[in-house]
Amino acid sequence: MTAPSLQPTRTLHPLLAAFVRFVICGGGVGVASSGVLVLLHGRMPLAVANALVTVVSTVIATELHSRVSFRSGRGGWGVHLQSGLTVAVSYAFTTGALLCLYAIQAEPSTLVQQSVYLSASALAGAGRFALLRVVVFRERAADGVREGSLGKSSVVMAA
C-alpha cells in the first residue's frame, strides 16, 4: 500500500487575490447601487438619486476595500476623500470616453455605447485598483517609515 501523494495547494498571487476581492466587493456594491437607484427613481429627480447613491456606495465600497480587498485596516475621512477622488477621476474618464464617441459618431448604436462605456469602466476600474493599492491602502511600516525606505534604525545597522 502506497502513501497518498501530497500535492501542494495552489494559492493566488497576493496581488491577483486582492484584485479578485476588489472586483467582487466593487461589483457587489455596484449591483446593489443599481437596485437602489431604481427604487429611488420615482421618489426624487434621477440626478439627485444618482448623487446620493454614488456618495453612499463610495463610502461603503471604500470600507469594503479597506477591510476585504486590501486588508489594510485603514479608515477615516482621509481615506474616504482619497477614494472619492479616484471615483471622480473614473467618472471623468468614462464620461470623456462617451463624449469622444459622440464626437466621432452622432448616433451610435446601444451596443457601441455599452461597449465604449464598459471598456472605459474596466480601464478606469483597473486604474482605480492601482491607485487605491499604491496610494490609499499601501502597506505602511509599523514605525511610520514607508516600506522600502531607510529609517534611522536601518542606517545605524548598516553603519
Average confidence (pLDDT) over 36-45: 86
DSSP result, 100-130:
HHHHH-SS--HHHHHHHHHHHHHHHHHHHHH
Taking the CB of residue 14, how many other CB atoms lie within 10 A of it? 9
Q: Where are the alpha helices (DSSP H) in 11-151?
A: 14-41, 46-64, 77-104, 110-131
Q: Which pLDDT score is estimated for 150?
A: 43
Strand partners, 140: 146
Terminal Cα-to-Cα distance of the chain (whole angstroms): 59
pLDDT at 25: 93
The pLDDT value recorded for residue 17 is: 92
Residue with cell string 476600474: 125
Are 26 and 62 contacting, i.e. CB atoms less than 8 angstroms apart? Answer: no
Block residue for cell numbers 482605480 = 128
Find the range with the poorest average confidence among 85-99, 109-123, 136-150.
136-150
Pairs from 85-89 (Cβ < 8 Å, separation ≥ 24): 86/127, 86/128, 86/131, 86/132, 86/136, 87/54, 87/58, 87/128, 89/124, 89/127, 89/128, 89/131
Percent of the chain scored above 90 by pLDDT?
23
Per-residue pLDDT at 21: 94
pLDDT above 70 covers a percentage of the chain that reads 81
pLDDT at 141: 52
Mean pLDDT score of the chain, rounded to an integer? 81
pLDDT tens, 43-74?
A: 998 778 888 888 888 889 999 998 998 888 77
Beta carbons of 66 and 137 less than 8 angstroms apart:
yes
Query: For residues 65 and 26, is the Cβ–Cβ distance under 8 A?
Result: yes
What was the pLDDT predicted at 154?
Answer: 37
Task: Tell me what the mean pLDDT of segment 111-116 comes to.
Answer: 88
Task: Give this prediction's pTM.
Answer: 0.69
